[in-house]
């Protein structure tokens, strides 16, 4: 294949040249792209038959069910995150969609908070809801305004562990104008901050801005997400999650990389304390100068490497801390519904606060809430005209599902002479009964708020954290790995900063993806860039990266959701219909980021920055 303008650099004479990467999730694909750009000859081994890992989708009849990207940090310019996506060819030639409301949080009585990402609109809306909280609301929105500016100086391109003293001082100096806002946002938990509101709805709603409740999160992540959204840098890319993964896979292949699917690694081969290759489930061995694991971290250290090469800190992290509550992101229970009609008044994304009776019907639920997205508003191209896709999820512990299970969580079988590793497995009757109970409860809940929804269902698809284990092998069904702001994430970041993304005493081995950082798609992608900078340092060669110019930069579409005062207590607001999101006739004026001139739909080109069911899934 002919490489594009990001052609790989020549290898260093006498240096390491070949590389095996375990896992074709975004971390593995990113690692492969940057490795090829820097002259390494790489092969990615993937257990599944598709790229993307957790960033995926699947077909059910005429519907494509997209299970990952609800917002993509770095999808717009003005920050280092965006440069990474352009280097990976993830967004070129695509339309990125942005709603003017990040999320709606709705209580049982029908009252709702519309979390506009634009601080001016958010401030006006919140003050109208609770004049008694006006002072705190203004303070929150002032900090949000500061964060919109601070995003430009957040470092993503180079790991702190490789920065020299001057680089670190420059990085810190760039934060000086935003120091107070960052300090305040990181020093108080959102649960404590929200408790200071006088209005009972605001006290609850602020915990669910990011769709689910994150008990260990300070205020900072909420400001970061809302600010990115306001800056048109947290939208969703045309083609959805699997489309994103396939775009990066295409970039990797154009750079000369190779992906082997249905290839399950069972052991990392080690000789004289050096990683020299891998052994696959079929007994075959593949050798390389470097091995990088971009799959589940616990599987890597405990199964592939049999808990060798763990110093005291790593041993505590992977054998003790990882099992403590709140140290790893939970998995999800997911319900997809394909509907044969549209619901034009439905908001694109709403977190519904539940009462305890409703929550008890949902096995494994962590917090009494469910996030409901009319997913066809995000990705109209993934379902037929005149239809809808509903995506309902809740944070879910795996233990209650395991207690109902009776069979293996993952099994390899041979079909047509080829090993397959992600086929359905048998579970206990209690497991299927719990899935049916949760599905029935959620459909009933939705039909009460959107009359006629149950009669419109033509596709149902349900998955649990055990489904995630079957497809990816991720520890306890997590999709994001280590939690930030707690012992696990902070320990991991300090270890990487001090020692790099490897394991002590093992040469030619590195970790990448979310297990080498703390959660999120942009962090998985950035991890690939970072690990290759460590590899290049170890090989005494300069690191290089280039933006993919095989397609034009992405364009952006801002979609108004609707005014809160138009929303009846039933949970429906006066938003656009799903069909209108296909309309190509909107205004072409360029709005100020985060302040679209409603009611028109705006499209503009972004400037280029400088150089998941077990029954059927």
Q: For 426-461, how does the pLDDT look when each residue is reduced to its tens digit (9 = 90+)?
A: 999 999 999 999 999 999 999 999 999 999 999 999
> What are 460-484's pLDDT values in tens digits?
999 999 999 999 999 999 999 999 9
61 dihedral zone (left: phi>0; alpha: psi -120 to 50; beta) = left
Question: Strand 285-287's sheet: what is its strand order?
Answer: 265-271, 274-280, 285-287
pLDDT at 590: 29
pLDDT(583) > 50: no
Q: Which of 64-68, 306-310, 571-575 has the lowest mean pLDDT?
A: 571-575
Residue 489 pLDDT class (50, 70, 90 cuts): very high
Tokens of 497: 């900063």
State the pLDDT at residue 563: 60
Measured between alpha carbons, how far is 150 from 176 in angstroms, rounded to an integer?
10
Tokens describing residue 175: 């934060």
d(Cα 86, Cα 75) in Å, to the nearest integer? 9
Among the residues of 92-239, which ranges form H helices?
119-129, 134-150, 165-174, 179-186, 190-194, 200-205, 220-230
CB atoms within 10 A of CB 367: 18
Q: Specify the pLDDT at position 15.
A: 84
Do 482 and 511 touch, CB atoms closer than 8 A? no
* Average pLDDT, integer, range 543-547: 98
Which of 385, 389, 390, 431 has its CA nearest to residue 407?
431
Q: Give CA angle at 448 (444, 453), nearest 5°.
A: 75
Q: How far is CA 510 from CA 268, 287, 502, 535, in A?
A: 12, 15, 4, 8
- For 220-251, the pLDDT digits (tens) are 999 999 999 999 999 999 999 999 999 999 99
Mean pLDDT, the chain, as a whole number? 89
With cut-offs at 50, 70 and 90, classify the pLDDT of residue 499: confident
**Res. 73 pLDDT band, cuts 50 70 90:** very high
The answer on pLDDT for 78 being more than 60 is yes
CA–CA gap between residue 432 and residue 584 (Å, rounded):
44
Calculate ∠ Cα 61-66-67, nearest 5°. 125
pTM for the model stands at 0.90
- Residue 216, Cβ density class (10 Å: 0-12 exposed, 13-18 middle, ≥19 buried): middle
Determine the pLDDT at residue 519: 81
């Amino acid at each position: 294949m002919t490489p594009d303008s990001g052609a790989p650099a020549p290898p260093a004479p006498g240096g390491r040249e070949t590389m095996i990467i375990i896992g074709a999730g975004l971390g593995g694909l990113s690692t492969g792209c940057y490795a090829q750009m820097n002259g390494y000859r790489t092969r990615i081994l993937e257990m599944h038959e598709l790229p993307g890992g957790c960033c995926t989708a699947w077909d059910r009849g005429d519907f494509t069910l997209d299970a990952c990207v609800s917002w993509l940090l770095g999808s717009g310019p003005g920050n280092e995150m965006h440069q990474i996506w352009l280097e990976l060819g993830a967004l070129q030639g695509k339309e990125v969609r942005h709603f003017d409301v990040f999320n709606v949080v709705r209580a049982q009585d029908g009252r709702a908070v519309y979390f506009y990402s634009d601080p001016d609109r958010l401030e006006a809306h919140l003050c109208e809801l609770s004049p008694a909280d006006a002072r705190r609301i203004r303070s929150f929105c002032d900090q949000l305004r500061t964060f919109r500016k601070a995003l430009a100086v957040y470092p993503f391109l180079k790991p702190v562990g490789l920065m020299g003293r001057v680089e670190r001082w420059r990085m810190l100096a760039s934060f000086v104008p935003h120091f107070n806002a960052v300090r305040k946002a990181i020093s108080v938990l959102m649960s404590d901050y929200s408790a200071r509101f006088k209005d009972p709805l605001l006290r609850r709603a602020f915990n669910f801005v990011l769709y689910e409740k994150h008990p260990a999160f300070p205020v900072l992540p909420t400001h970061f997400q809302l600010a990115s959204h306001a800056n048109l840098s947290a939208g969703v890319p045309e083609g959805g999650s699997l489309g994103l993964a396939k775009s990066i896979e295409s970039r990797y292949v154009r750079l000369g990389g190779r992906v082997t699917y249905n290839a399950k690694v069972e052991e990392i081969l080690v000789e004289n304390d050096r990683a020299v290759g891998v052994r696959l489930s079929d007994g075959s061995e593949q050798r390389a100068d470097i091995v990088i694991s971009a799959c589940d971290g616990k599987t890597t250290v405990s199964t592939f490497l049999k808990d060798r090469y763990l110093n005291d800190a790593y041993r505590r992290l992977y054998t003790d801390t990882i099992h403590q509550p709140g140290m790893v992101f939970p998995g999800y229970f997911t319900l997809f519904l394909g509907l044969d009609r549209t619901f034009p008044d439905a908001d694109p994304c709403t977190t519904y606060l539940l009462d305890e009776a409703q929550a008890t019907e949902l096995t494994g639920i962590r917090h009494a809430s469910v996030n409901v997205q009319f997913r066809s508003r995000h990705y109209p191209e993934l379902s037929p005209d005149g239809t809808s896709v509903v995506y309902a999820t809740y944070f879910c512990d795996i233990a209650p599902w395991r207690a109902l299970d009776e069979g293996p969580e993952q099994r390899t079988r041979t079909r047509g002479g080829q090993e397959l590793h992600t086929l359905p497995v048998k579970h206990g009757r209690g497991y299927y009964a719990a899935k049916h109970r949760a599905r029935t409860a959620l459909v009933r809940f939705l039909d009460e708020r959107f009359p006629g929804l149950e009669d419109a269902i033509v596709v149902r698809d349900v998955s649990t954290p055990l489904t995630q284990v079957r497809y990816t092998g991720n520890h306890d069904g997590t999709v994001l790995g280590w939690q930030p702001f707690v012992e696990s994430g902070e320990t991991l970041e300090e270890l990487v900063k001090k020692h790099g993304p490897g394991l002590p005493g093992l040469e030619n081995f590195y970790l990448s993806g979310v297990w080498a950082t703390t959660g999120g798609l942009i962090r998985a992608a950035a991890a690939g860039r970072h690990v290759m900078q460590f590899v290049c340092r170890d090989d005494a060669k300069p690191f290089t990266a280039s933006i993919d110019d095989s397609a034009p930069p992405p364009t952006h579409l801002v979609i108004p959701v609707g005014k809160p005062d138009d929303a009846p207590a039933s949970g429906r607001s006066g938003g656009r219909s799903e069909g209108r999101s296909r309309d190509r006739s909107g205004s072409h004026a360029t709005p100020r980021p985060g302040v679209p001139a409603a009611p028109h739909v705006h499209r503009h080109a972004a400037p280029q920055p400088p150089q998941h069911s077990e029954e059927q899934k």
